[in-house]
Amino acid sequence: MACAAPTAAPAPTPNVGTVAEQLARGAPLYAQNCATAACHGVKGEGIRAGDSFSEFPLVGAEFQARNPNAQVVFDVVRSGDEANLRAMTDQQI
């Protein structure tokens, strides 16, 4: 007689709140770490360098094409050289 192996229940999905709530929580972190003339700009517009960017935008079609999901964004932040980004917790990212 064959018995089916027990299956583990899937991990619950954390409640991250609405987009507006996420933006409100992230605004101070963005202002402190990213919204500078040397980084992604006050509105996430990126920093232009000729026809391209020295720092890519964090909004719009360009961003969506380069970062199709949150895992890509997480990996990019984690792989950066900036000490302030490396100091961020996974939840902050």
Is the pLDDT reported for residue 50 higher than 70?
Answer: yes
User: Are β-strands 52-55 and 47-49 bridged in parallel, bridged antiparallel, or unpaired?
Assistant: antiparallel
Distance (Å, rounded) from C-alpha 15 to C-alpha 83? 29
Among residues of the chain, what percentage have pLDDT more than 70?
Answer: 86
Supply the DSSP symbol for 42.
T
The closest of 30, 25, 18, 24 to 73, measured between CA atoms, is 30
Chain segment 8-17, per-residue pLDDT in tens: 677 766 777 8
Taking the domains of the chain in order of start, what are their residue ranges? 19-86
Is the pLDDT reported for residue 47 higher than 80?
Answer: yes
Please answer whether residues 73 and 90 qualify as being in contact, where contact means their C-beta atoms are separated by less than 8 angstroms: no
